Structure formats: structure tokens, C-alpha cells
Amino acid sequence: MLTSLAARVALSAAATETGHAPLADFHQWWKEQRAADDSASRVIPFADLRMWSFRPDTGDLVHDTGRFFTVEGLRVRRPGWPVPHWSQPIIHQPEVGILGILAKEFDGVLHFLMQAKTEPGNIAGPQLSPTVQATRSNYTRVHRGNPVPYVEYFRNAARHRVLADVRQSEQGSWFYRKRNRNMVVEVTEDVELLDGFRWVPLGQLHRLLAEDDLVNMDSRTVLACLPFPFAGADGGSHRPADTAVLGWITEARTRHELLAERVPLREVTGWRHEPDRITHESGAFFDVMAVAFQGRGREIAAWTQPMVRPHGTGVSAFLVRRTGDGVQVLASTRVEAGSADVLELGPTAQGTPENYAALPDDARPPLLDAILGAPAERVLFDTVMSEEGGRFFHARTRYLIVEAGPDGGPEDTADLRWIPLEELTDLARHSFYVNVDARTLMVCLQSVYGPDRAV
């Protein structure tokens, strides 16, 4: 028996299209949005940044107002890890932004208000984004731009029905303890439909996930926080994680040591500062660089900003298996330099194959090669999607869901454990348990193991 909310989410997940939102209409609308997009991004030298500069004392890359974010240094120690210490540039953005999706029933089916939005780092025009995607500097209008549409629904959420509201981390390799508030707010009142926005049922969003670079990262992380009733879940969308699972996480957070200290960017070693990039001596990992962006329909029309440009396409993959009472994923304990609390649960394997040439052999995720070599019939999901285009330039990850073989896959280890999807869904209701790549995969899992499909 599903709870009433879980049943409504299930109904929306079953709807690839509705009378209000035919699939063909979406594709037509999307074609128009792409055609209307005249935005342009251009890589520039740091010297051409406007309102951004390197501070003479620290070398940090900062905005003149002190707001938005800064690029600083991070000195990291991980005793016992193949690379026991290093330093690196990192984005520090202490403000908690809002990633919000508005929900509303049309003809009895929940639809979600999505936006066609082009970000400076996007690889090919607009991506399908949440209703609101705003830093506190944005929505309090530090940059004197236009007001952020729909943001008041989220700032005054208690007046409506809150379906999800949790601060979640983002990429811990590039962000220092970044967290955004992930919200889904359901309204019953009429909502004005602005240009560039569209109501989409969940099943249609799931269908669109299979297209490369279409559903943006912020949409994915918010949708992962929905109370989603996976196939085979008996009690609804989530059930409290088993004490053994919580104890496993506690043990791992005690065993792994992460000592990360913010330092001036000029104290980072092993990185070269060039006119148009800060780059690792090995050529691996990522660059800090700068972009000039000319957008349409944004709060302000044009700006320049620093960004992080990763080298190579990432891979994030969950190994999954079906059991008598539902689906399990093999979660890993994932320590990242910018983690708020040592580690979060991550995909079975997560990494950028190109980087491992610059790292010791034992830094390679143990199951990465086995997953990449799985036979096609066990690959349930395989799409390349983009990471957040507001901070990352052409950052793409190949998301894979791969079914374990008939032997049920590997055994649990100290850093890998099979976890039922309903428990992972409950953990994602709390901060800092499920990392951003695993949250993207949770939405992919929704599209594979939706409630309308038989296990």
C-alpha cells in the first residue's frame, strides 16, 4: 500500500505524457527553445574578467563584492590513502542557494515546472533546469539584476505543501563544503507560466533523462529527493535505514581521516598559474579558467566569471541487483576533499579514467573496469549528462546502471555495501549522506525501477 503522496508520485511517474503535456509537444517546445537560444560563451584570459580579480595578498580569485564564490586553495591530508596529501584550488561558496521545483496537479497528475536555461558552462545550449536555481546573492539581488521568477514560492514554502526540503552537498572534489537547499513545493493556486518554462510529468522527465545533456544536474539532484516509491517497495517510498547500515557509515566516517584546510590560493603547490588557466603540472584533473557569457532571459544579460573545467568525461555507475523485497545498489564510501563530514555514499564506482594515469594504481576504484566491461544486456542505463553549468565548463559524466551477474555481484566490504533503494531514499531526506553523483543515479534508477514496472 503506497501512502497518498507516494501514490501521487507513482501516478506522475507512470505518465510519459498527459493531456496537459504531450510528449510530442515537449519535443517541439524544446526545439523552439534551442532555436531561440542566442547565448554564447567564450573562454577568456583572467585579465579580461570584469569585477573578478586575484587578491594581491592571498592570490584568491574573488568578486569585487566579496559575494557569489571565491576560488581559494585547499590543503588536504588523507592518512592511509594512496595519495596521502596534496593541495588544489577549490571553489568556496558558503551561501546556501535554492534549487527548487514547483509541483502542481493538472487533471489529477502531478506536473513539475521546468525551465529551459542556458548556463555559461553548458556544452550545447539550454538544459532542462529546476523552476528556481539561485544563490542567495542572486535572489537577494546583489548583482542588481531582475528578480528571480517564482522564488517566493520557496522562500515562503510553509504556505504551501513541501514535498522535499533538504540541504545537499555538490561535487566535493571541486567545492569546499558546498550545499544547496533542494526543494519540491506543491501549490494548488494558479501559477503564471512564463516564457521558457513548462509543466512536465515525472514519467516524461524520466524519459528525457535518457537523452545526452538534456536534464541538468540541479534538476536531477532535486528529483532524487522526492519520496519515490521504487518497484518492490512495500511500505511506500522510504523506510528508515537499518541500524547496521548507519553503523557502517559511522564506522567508515571514524576510520577514514580527512584533514582539509583552506589556504591562500598562492600557497597551492603542483599547479601552474598561466594567463588563461590554473592547471595541474600533470595535465590531469581540472583547470580553473574564465568565461565571458552573453545570455538571454537571465537576470542580467552578460557577465564574466571564473569556472572549473575538468579534463575528461567522468564515469559514475551503480551496480544493482534484485532481491526478494526490492532493488539494492552497491554504495561506496566516498571521501572527497571538500566533504562536510568526511565522506558520503557514492556510486559503486566514480572517477575520470584519464586522471588515473596521474595517480597510483591503487587509487583506481576497484570495480570501475568490471563495470565498464559489463555485457550490454546488463547495462540498464547509459547516458552522458552535464554537471552544473554555472560553475563547471563542459563538465560531463557518463552515468551507468549495471545489473550484477547471476552470482549477485561482489560481497560487502569495509567500503562497499548493498543497500535497498528505499533506505537510500530515506537517507537522501537528510543532508550529507548521498553524494551528488549518486543522487543523479537515483533519478536514473527511478526511470528504470519505476512503480509501474514489474521487478
Interacting residues toward a second copy by CB under 8 A:
96, 157-158, 162-167, 181, 183, 227, 238-241, 243-244, 246-248, 250-251, 253-254, 340-341, 426, 429-431
Nearest distance in Å: CB 396, a second copy: 30
Residue 167 or 311: the one with the smaller Cβ distance to a second copy is 167
CB atoms within 10 A of CB 300: 11
Residue 151 or 183: the one with the smaller Cβ distance to a second copy is 183
Contact between residue 123 and residue 206 where contact means Cβ atoms under 8 Å apart: no
SS3 363: helix
Residue 171 or 237: the one with the smaller Cβ distance to a second copy is 237
Nearest to 292 by CA among 395, 216, 393, 146: 393
Nearest distance in Å: CB 190, a second copy: 24
CB atoms within 10 A of CB 376: 6
Nearest distance in Å: CB 178, a second copy: 14
Nearest to 407 by CA among 378, 380, 382: 378
Nearest distance in Å: CB 333, a second copy: 14
Output the CA torsion 390→439→316→422 (10° steps): 180
Nearest to 359 by CA among 282, 257, 415, 261: 282
Contact between residue 266 and residue 73 where contact means Cβ atoms under 8 Å apart: yes
CB atoms within 10 A of CB 277: 17
Burial of 309 (0-12, 13-18, 19+ CB in 10 A): middle
SS3 226: coil
Nearest distance in Å: CB 250, a second copy: 5
Contact between residue 258 and residue 81 where contact means Cβ atoms under 8 Å apart: no
What distance in Å separates the CA atoms of residue 226 and residue 214, rounded to the nearest whole number? Answer: 20
Nearest distance in Å: CB 217, a second copy: 20
Residue 120 or 420: the one with the smaller Cβ distance to a second copy is 420
Nearest distance in Å: CB 245, a second copy: 10
Residue 132 or 401: the one with the smaller Cβ distance to a second copy is 132
Residue 392 carries which side chain, given as an amino acid letter?
F
Q: What are phi and psi of 141, to 5 degrees?
A: 65, 45
What distance in Å separates the CA atoms of residue 35 and residue 22, rounded to the nearest whole number? Answer: 20
What distance in Å separates the CA atoms of residue 202 and residue 211, rounded to the nearest whole number? Answer: 15
Residue 1 or 244: the one with the smaller Cβ distance to a second copy is 244
* SS3 track for 358-399: HCCHHHCCCCHHHHHCCCHHHEEEEEEEECCCCCECCCEEEE
Residue 340 or 359: the one with the smaller Cβ distance to a second copy is 340
**What are the beta bridge partners of residue 286?**
310
Contact between residue 419 and residue 425 where contact means Cβ atoms under 8 Å apart: no
Residue 12 or 316: the one with the smaller Cβ distance to a second copy is 12
* Joined grid coordinates for residue 63: 568578486
Nearest distance in Å: CB 167, a second copy: 6
Residue 165 or 299: the one with the smaller Cβ distance to a second copy is 165
Contact between residue 416 and residue 330 where contact means Cβ atoms under 8 Å apart: yes
Residue 122 or 182: the one with the smaller Cβ distance to a second copy is 182
Nearest distance in Å: CB 181, a second copy: 6
Residue 162 carries which side chain, given as an amino acid letter?
V
Residue 45 or 247: the one with the smaller Cβ distance to a second copy is 247
Nearest distance in Å: CB 429, a second copy: 6
Nearest distance in Å: CB 398, a second copy: 31
Start-to-end CA span in the chain (Å): 16
